[in-house]
Amino acid sequence: MAATIPGVSLAMNAALTTEGEQARAFYDDVAETLESLAERWQEESGYEDFKDYLLPIKPIAKRNSAKLVKMTKRPFGVIVAFPHTEWAVRVTSRSIVLKCTKITKTI
């Protein structure tokens, strides 16, 4: 059984567990692409439009039922939303990190 968050309803805990699983699936699907884009941005940032870096991310987000909130340059990454949470996938010099950044609604 998944751990529950104290003070949060069982329905909300279930939603957060489901969204955590969806976020992990998005992470698994996007990590390699995001790492490649981060490397490209380091080399080409003076020449390329950052908005173009969204193009390969959009279909991955859609495929994983995630709403693309924004991409960030520093740290390089993407923030996606599900109905109750927002998640950041960030590329650092040592790793690619998935983190829940916001719980947006309650049940």
What ranges do the domains of the chain cover? 10-103
Tokens of 87: 């998640």
Judge if the upstream peptide bond of residue 83 is cis by omega within 30 degrees of 0.
Answer: no
Mean pLDDT of 12-24: 79
Q: Would you say the C-alpha torsion 60, 64, 69, 72 has a positive or negative sign?
A: negative
Mean pLDDT of 13-30: 85
- At residue 96, the 3 state secondary structure works out as strand
Report the percent of the chain where pLDDT is more than 70: 82
Rounded to an integer, what distance in angstroms lies between the CA atom of residue 84 and that of residue 11? 12
On whether the pTM is more than 0.85, the answer is no
Tokens of 37: 């884009």
- pLDDT for the residue numbered 79: 95
